[in-house]
Structure 1
Amino acid sequence: MKYSRFVVGITLFLVADTLALANETLATIARPQLDANVEAERDSFLSRGYTPLFNGKDLSGWRNPYSHGEASVVDGEIHLKADNKFFLVTEQKYSNFRLSVDIHLPEGPSNSGVMFRCHVDEDAEKKVYGYQAECDGSERRWSGGLFDEARRRWIWPSTKGRSTTQFRAHEEESQKFFAEPRVRDALNRNGWNRYTITCIDDVITIELNGVQTVRFRDAMDSSGFIGIQHHGEKGQTYRFRNLFIKELPLIPASEHVSLTEQEPVSIKRINDKVTLIDFGKVAFGNIVMPVPADGRGTVNVHFGEKIKEGCIDRSPPGTVRYGMTSVRRGQQRGNWIVPTPVDDRNIQQSGRMNANPPAVLTPSAWQPVMPFRWIEIEGLEADFAFDQICRRAAFSKTWNDDASSFECSDETLNRIWDLCKYSIKATTFAGVYVDGDRERIPYEADAYLNQLSHYSTDDHVTMAARTFDWLMENGTWPTEWAPHMVFMAHAEWMNSGDTKWLQQRYESLKSKTLLHRSGDDGLVRSDELDRSRHDIVDWPQKERDGFVFTEINTVVNAFHIEALKQMAEMAMAVGKTEDADAFAARAELAVAAFQKTLFDEETGIYRDGVGTEHSSIHANFFPLAFGLVPEDKQAGVVDWLATKGMDCSVYAAQYFMDALFQNGGEHKALALMLADGDRSWKHMVNSGTTITWEAWEMKYKPNQDWNHAWGAAPANLLPRHVLGVQPVRPGWKRVLVRPCPGDLKFARGKVPSKHGPIHVDWNCESGFKLSVDLPEGVTANLDLPELEGAESVSVNGSAVSVTKKQNRWVLDGEFSGSILVEAN
């Protein structure tokens, strides 16, 4: 009996110890861990556009306005010692910025913080006053809170006796927020803590170790100094490192985009006052035109994306663009640059919509731009030199029209390719990927789809990595958009092979996996607010195929698991083997629960979530696209999806098509892309548009715009699946060539890679022939469609062995150089 109690006791001890270790491991991969290597951190910040506030050697640029307090530099850190409270402050003032500071509190009673937009009054007793991001070492745990030093005191959270009346209104709400475990436990009490503070106009945001603790509007101060605090505990040393700032706004187009002058395609005099000029395709820009030599009055320039009855549609639907600019004739010489009208939403840095990050600005030297194809000139005589009017169109400086090509036996598919490729080019105007012209804001899902297509169409792509950095600092609200950041990083690494770039960003990705919302079974939970707002499934809402939202959501968990799998792969690449094992184990746990709780054995497909019997196509094609469907269940899911139409948005269609192409459903995928009706790319291209739309039609999203690159998925689907070229090793060191012909007779094209173009030409009119030209340094695995009647496969005239996998023939070995494959 005593022995049994002893064994039980030991067992319970071991179980508790194992659980503690598991929780510790989970905490390590659930949020960013700060690197102890100061030089590595410095390189990381510099690579993301930050400027050091501290050079690591001395206190240049800093001053102590007090007669007490000691500041010194020790091993690349700033150490503060004092018997009374004091602040070390910068000599320079800052207005709009993103600031990062690491703080290490001493043991025992301690309190510190980061002052920002603060002020110094040399004659006052409390010399430094203003905004402070709180670092609270007490049991109160309000670290990351917003405090107004020597003025209004606690702003968020607020409390009786220590907050002014205006902030007491949210006392209960704010204290409840700071009691939430993720916020309450954000501070690493006995280690380093990263504070990230963003100020844009009157919007103040504070993040602590990757957890947002404050987003608050306050207009008390618009500029001031940066400061760090010693709270005054005698004998205590406060340590600070990695002090970096990025002044805002950034204007990526200044360095990465140029204006190209384009001549008119056609000029037509509509009546005795108006001339219509067509530039052939929509582009973001404005115009330059000769100044009339004489005359008085006003010339009106109308810009439009849409034509109606031979004239520019001046009342277009949704956010299809129209605008007019008036210019006065006078005694000028030379050329007018005629700017487009300014849409305030496209330039807002702190708009009224609290969820929106700042809009991406274009250079002021350009003058305003907008998307348009046509202009109407009103008020110029018929003999004016209209042929000398040019559009100044904005495109990426490095865009290469010759980097890619695609042609196949279906002419409509060729037109779809041309439309989608140009859509990617035309939407490079801002220097980062933005959501068309409604807000000019990057969104994570939009950016990922844009990124995939940019890699498939251009050969010098830096915009994807730049957009990734922008979004890591300006994230948006949907649940599934966060894992897209993991996808973006993985795709950039696969394309560039730049492990150093990945290493500098790896830790920050941990906050994007949704691990903080997962339970003991590994599955993500969605509370009431998540289900009503954050969990997006598809957009707009009417494109969700009747999806039923529950606490455990199939789509959200599919994204979560895919993010974990990619994190495991990237952790291994940057040498974080323990992280890699932990991510892989967590993914395995979640996959088991996913299959057990969400798959309906009776119907052979997935339910939308736990607690509903409804099965949408989204609950099935997302798991299929992410490789979550067990091999013995795949055919059933594919067959069920083959009975469905395009019951999803142009965004989700990327994943729907991926799922079909990857799992033997290429006939269905091509049929959907080319379908009659208004839910296909055939409809889009037949409409006459020259840039893809945000939705299939206006009736599905009445406020849609007509210049949205997330509608351009065929720009990557056709090279990746019909030509069949995808990287399987970072930096395109090894590729998979896996053509999916469907009903097509032939396809040929050029796919960009880091090492040069990959040429593919296949024909299945008589047997199957595949020609592949690989650049030096690239090897390929070959995967062919199984052909009826074919008995053997040869490469460059020599027979090769193959392995049959489902309805494909996988050629054994790797190949390089010029390859001719024949199946007969």
Structure 2
Amino acid sequence: MRHQDIFGKLVAPALIPLLFLVNCFAQESTHNSISKPTIEQDGSAEFEAMVSRGYTPLFNAKDFTGWRNPYSHGEAKVVDDEIHLLADKKFFLVTEKKYADFRLSVEIHLPEGAANSGVMFRCHVDPDAQKKVFGYQAECDGSDRRWSGGLYDEARRGWIWPSTAGRSEEPFLEHEEESKAAFADPAIANALDRNGWNRFVVTCIEDRITIELNGVPTVTFRDTTDASGYLGIQHHGEQGQTYRFRNLFIKELPEIPAEDSISLTDQSPVSVKKIDENVTLVDFGKVAFGNVALRVPRSGRGMGKVHFGEKLVDGRVDREPPGTVRYGVSEFRKGSGEFGTWIVPTPVDVRNTEQAGATRAHPPAVLTPKSWLPVMPFRWVEIEGWEGEFKPEYIVRRAAFASDWNDDASSFECSDETLNRIWELCKYSIKATTFAGVYVDGDRERIPYEADAYLNQLSHYYADDEVEMAAKTFDWLIENGTWPTEWAPHMVFMAHAEWMYSGDLEWLKHRYESLKAKTLMHRSGEDGLVRSAEIDQNRHDIVDWPQKERDGFVFTEINTVVNAFHIEALERMVEMARAIGKSEDAEAFAARAELAKAAFQMTLFDEAAGIYRDGVGTDHSSIHANFFPLAFGLIPQDKLAGVIEWLEQKDMQCSVYAAQYFLDGLFNHGSDQKAIDLMVADGDRSWKHMVNSGTTISWEAWDLKYKPNQDWNHAWGAAPANLLPRCVLGAQPETPGWTNAMIRPCPGGLKYARGRVPTVLGPIEIDWKNESTFTLTLALPKGMTARVELPAANRTTGVFVDGVSVQAMKTSDRWILKDKITGTVTIEAK
């Protein structure tokens, strides 16, 4: 729980106008420095960051190995780890190797005066042509035209995006007005630093080309002219001018994260049942992503079938399941005369393999290794057409899980058996969805989404003790972000959570600059609040998903939920900036957060009702407009009781995604009984409903009737995997790397709870009993201290550690120990 400062300062009224002007000036002068990435002057930080993120250098900073100059003119020099190009006529330095699909990053520094350069990609070299190099170019425009980041077709078709009469072919002139308007937008027009270093990032995936300049997306275009080619850098030909290039990196695509971190595990069936003479039903006990290895049937003729399914109907695999519940069928040949086993792959769903999106644009799906053959989620298979007896040893499921998954790393048990079943469901959900090597959205698209990934990340930390997947997913999403407004701040949350878990400051340093574009500052006004244009209100602003889970939320230009995320992202950026020594950034983020918080409270709080409105221009108050501020610690102390009392009257009027924040807010503000009641509530909007349904992986939504196309294998529905150990057991990191922990149990009426919480320093063992006294037995790993807060029953008068009275302060509902705890102790509040 964030502790708020109870002291304030009074400002003389006469000083307010002056302070307001100074504040506005300061805000304006610092806004740009914290709203987009900063490129350091010497380039070493960027180099290290790219290597850390898995990129391959294209230039060795010593010579031009791997490069060539196809012209008889032009000079290239290596100067202080940079490439300097000099010429009196245009020329290009190009790679010796061709590339197809990739993400390319190049930094360019233009000379003073008239200058024009660019990055060639998928380009071609014709040694006999007058213009030897031709093809795609990401434009670096030093003129007042300001078309840097544009897509140009060098020595061939001219301007593609933006397009212009006389310099573009007819098909491209169809979007002349639209593309010129895009480049007139200040965000793109001012993206180039005319007197400094500029980072161009070009991504080519199949026919889709995207260009970013200094973190600003400038072009997304589909073109089928070239699928591969060389890379190049340009000198425009101005005599006496030196063009400088550095930090040239490439990442060839597609990446397949599972190759290095996921293994296939052979699993025997838990039951084999003969349905009739032609069909055998095989049950593997739980759903997992995989395929099967089948003993080759040496007798018989023709083809047999393997039906894969997540759902049964009338004791058979459901071949027409609802929504996106999975079913598929594959064939095998009988009587081949071969010995051994066959791998029977599952059918391929094109959505799970699309890289550019054939029918609609989306980030690339995460591919699994070709050597596996296709996989899908299933629990049951029906073997159709097998002649004779089918024995259990004839088949195994090859299930994909994280290679280093440790089932013993975590545990949870309490006095409520339903909560125990919920824990097991949610923990296994995290394990089962590690199959892709990064966190994906179940099996619909197999694409990471930021909010899904953050919830998955939190739960993974509390379920397993090897969690490199969180950092891998962050890097994937930085390069393949998705469209919802609130998903961008989740990237800040992911980076902060990884730093708090691992304590790896170097990792954070290498990714800090990329986070600046994720705070939504580019949409904020002079008051610090984020604005939502019409397209944002109609499409980008999420609030909750699916749409019917929004509790009637009314979308307006100034949206309470969006701004709560914005402020929380700024607050976490303050912490991270300070940690890596960016003190000026930290102060600027802090000032911006304070500005936004003041406006948030003044503008969005309904004083008469004592709760928050959905936004400016509506009197409607959804639970989302109140539990997100509660979870993020945005509610002033004197307003807390009213908001909490109002929320405690509400049911689960939100999705499984938003429930993470709803319950977080309740647990952290003394409403643990309400939080637990919501988890185990009767009806179809709780995790009790999920476990009673028989599912073995958490769902994307509470029920099919709330989202008819929901997945049955969605880790964002597994929030109790982190909520139960974080809040009920009460273990959270208070300093990066778990060097100091907060132990703050929230019993919520439970009689006891015990469990193991994995950390980078080793497991924390917690065992508490909630009787006439509250007794906590705590075992901390070596190198960890803990601050302890215990529930304070009405009649308790003190706290004892191993039977010795210790100093502790009693608040309304907590005993807060003065001294930190180490090692293994028993603590009693009695």
- Identify the TM-score tier after normalising by the shorter chain: over 0.9
Q: 2:7 aligns to what?
A: none
Partner of 1:617: 623
Q: Report the Cα offset of residue 807 of structure 1.
A: 1.9
Q: Which deviates more from structure 2 when the two are superposed, residues 56-65 or residues 773-782?
A: 56-65
Please report how far the alpha carbon of residue 353 of structure 1 lies from its aligned counterpart in structure 2 after TM superposition. 4.7
Indicate the residue corresponding to 1:104 in structure 2. Answer: 109
Cα 1:661–1:21, aligned 2, differ >3 Å: closer, same or farther?
closer
Residue 117 (structure 1) aligns with: 122
SS in structure 2 opposite 1:815?
coil
Aligned positions of 1:63-78 closer than 5 A: 63-78=68-83
- Give the C-alpha shift of residue 15 in structure 1: 9.5
Distance 1:90 1:807, change over 3 A: same
Distance 1:14 1:396, change over 3 A: closer
Name the CA distance, whole Å, in 2 between partners of 1:353 and 1:101: 31
Per-residue CA deviations over 1:42-85 (Å, capped at 9, x if unaligned) read: 22111111100001111111111111111101000001111111
1:328, distance to aligned residue in structure 2 (A): 1.2
C-alpha distance in 2 between matches for 1:284 and 1:298: 25
Q: Distance in 2 between matches of 1:521 and 1:624?
A: 21
Cα distance in structure 2, aligned partners of 1:16 and 1:743: 53
Task: Map 1:746-765 to 2 at 5 A.
Answer: 746-765=752-771
> The residue matched to 1:641 in structure 2 has which SS?
helix
Match of 2:528 in 1: 522
> Alignment partner for residue 481 of structure 2, among 475, 478, 492?
475
Q: Does residue 156 of structure 1 match 2:161? A: yes
For residues 341 and 362 of structure 1, the distance between their equivalents in structure 2, rounded to whole angstroms, comes to 14
Please name the residue that 1:381 is paired with. Answer: 387
Q: Tell me how far apart the structure 2 counterparts of residues 40 and 67 of structure 1 sit (CA, whole Å).
A: 36
* C-alpha contact (below 8 Å) 1:155/1:167 kept by paired residues: yes
Q: Which residue of 1 aligns with 2:710?
A: 704
Aligned pair in 2 of structure 1 residues 353, 586: CA closer, same or farther (>3 Å)?
Answer: farther
- Matching residue within 222, 237, 242 for 1:237: 242
CA contact (8 A) 1:468 1:489 kept: yes
Match of 2:182 in 1: 177
Counterparts of 2:61 and 2:775, CA distance in 1: 62
The residue aligned with 1:392 is: 398
Looking at structure 1, the residues matched to 687 and 235 of structure 2 have their Cα atoms a distance apart, in angstroms, of: 62
CA distance in 1, matches of 2:536, 2:563: 13
Please say if 1:228 is aligned against 2:227.
Answer: no
Looking at structure 1, the residues matched to 115 and 58 of structure 2 have their Cα atoms a distance apart, in angstroms, of 24
The letter for the 2-side match of 1:228 is I
Alpha-carbon separation, structure 1, partners of 2:462 and 2:785 = 18
1:813 aligns with 2:819: yes
Q: 1:567-716 maps to which residues of 2 (within 5 A)?
A: 567-716=573-722
What is the alpha-carbon distance in structure 2 between the residues aligned to residue 465 and residue 35 of structure 1?
24
Does the 8 Å contact 1:355/1:476 carry over to 2? no
Give the C-alpha shift of residue 333 in structure 1: 1.3
User: Which residue of structure 2 aligns with residue 4 of structure 1?
Assistant: none
Report matched runs for 1:358-377 at 5 Å: 358-377=364-383
What residue is the counterpart of 1:32 in the other structure? Answer: 37
Q: Is the 8 A contact 1:660 1:668 kept in 2?
A: yes
| Equivalent pair of 1:38/1:76 in contact (CA under 8 Å) | no
Question: Please, which moves more after superposition, 126-135 or 289-298?
Answer: 289-298
In the TM superposition, 1:244-643 aligns within 5 A as: 244-329=249-334, 330-643=336-649
**Which residue in the other structure is 2:5 paired with?**
none
Between the aligned residues of both structures, percent identity stands at 70
Distance apart, 1:36 and its partner CA: 3.0
Question: Which stretch of the first structure deviates more once superposed, 379-388 or 390-399?
Answer: 379-388
Give the deviation of 1:157 after TM superposition. Answer: 0.8
After TM superposition, the structure 1 stretch with the greater mean CA deviation from structure 2, 728-737 or 762-771, is 762-771
| Aligned AA (1:815) | I
Q: Which amino acid aligns with 2:129?
A: A
State how far apart, in whole Å, the 1-side matches of 2:301 and 2:482 are.
Answer: 49
Give 1:334 deviation, angstroms. Answer: 0.8
> In structure 2, do the counterparts of structure 1 residues 351 and 815 end up closer, same or farther at CA, with 3 Å as the change threshold?
same
Alpha-carbon distance, 1:18 to partner: 7.5
1:194 aligns with 2:199: yes
d(CA) in 2 for partners of 1:365 and 1:35?
A: 42
Cα deviation, residue 412, structure 1: 0.4
Distance 2:811 2:500 in 1: 25
Tell me the distance in 1 between the aligned counterparts of 2:647 and 2:20.
44
- Correspondence for 2:723: 717
Stretches of 4+ aligned residues off by more than 6 angstroms: 11-18
Asked whether the 8 Å contact 2:122–2:229 carries over to 1, the reply is yes
For the Cα contact (< 8 Å) 1:263–1:388, is it kept in 2? no
Q: Which amino acid aligns with 1:657?
A: L
Task: Answer whether contact 1:625 1:659 (CA < 8 A) is retained.
Answer: yes
Aligned length: 814
Task: Say whether the 8 Å CA contact 1:355–1:477 is kept in structure 2.
Answer: no
Change (3 A) 1:164 1:16: farther
- Unpaired segments of 5 or more residues in structure 1? 1-10
Task: Look up the match of 1:729.
Answer: 735
Match of 1:79?
84
Q: Is 1:267–1:387's contact at 8 Å kept on the other side of the alignment?
A: no
Instruction: Assess, with a 3 A threshold, how the Cα gap between structure 1 residues 61 and 275 changes in structure 2: closer, same or farther.
Output: same
Q: What is the CA deviation profile of residues 416-450 of structure 1, one whole-angstrom value per residue up to 9, with x for unaligned ones?
A: 00000000000000000000000000000000000
Residue 467 to residue 708, structure 1, CA distance change in 2 (3 Å): same
User: What is the identity, as a one-letter code, of the residue corresponding to 1:551?
Assistant: E
Which has the higher mean CA deviation after the structures are superposed, 197-206 or 18-27?
18-27
Contact 2:792 2:829 in 1 (8 A): no
**Aligned partners of 1:685, 1:319: CA distance in 2, in Å?**
19
Give SS of 2:436's match: coil
In 2, Cα distance between equivalents of 1:636 and 1:647 = 19
Matched residue of 1:769: which SS? strand
In structure 2, the residue corresponding to 1:117 is in which secondary structure? Answer: strand
| Deviation (angstroms), 1:146 | 0.4
- The question of whether the paired residues in 2 share the 8 Å contact of 1:761 and 1:771 is answered with yes
State yes or no: 1:139 paired with 2:144: yes
Report the Cα distance in structure 1 between the residues aligned to 2:477 and 2:371, rounded to whole angstroms: 25
Any idea what SS the aligned residue of 1:698 has? coil
1:245 and 1:544 map into 2 onto residues whose CA distance is: 42
Letter in 2 for 1:295: G
- Which one-letter code corresponds to 1:791 in the other structure? T
TM-score scaled by structure 2? 0.97
Could you tell me how far 1:31 is from its partner in structure 2?
0.2
> Is residue 2:746 matched to residue 1:740?
yes
Query: Cα offset for 1:549?
Result: 0.6
Q: Which amino acid aligns with 1:99?
A: L
Q: Is the partner of 2:705 in helix, strand or coil?
A: helix
CA contact (8 A) 2:815 2:829 kept: no
Displacement of 1:16 in angstroms is 8.5
Give distance in 2, aligned partners of 1:110 and 1:14: 43
Structure 1 residues 199, 293: closer, same or farther in 2, change over 3 A?
same
The DSSP-based 3-state class of the residue aligned with 2:431 is helix
| CA distance, structure 1, for counterparts of residue 177 and residue 595 of structure 2 | 38
Residue ranges of structure 2 left out of the alignment (5+ in a row): 1-15
Match of residue 3 from structure 1: none
- Distance (whole Å) between structure 1 residues aligned to residue 596 and residue 386 of structure 2: 68
What SS is found at the alignment partner of 1:395?
strand
Q: TM-score, structure 1 length as denominator?
A: 0.97
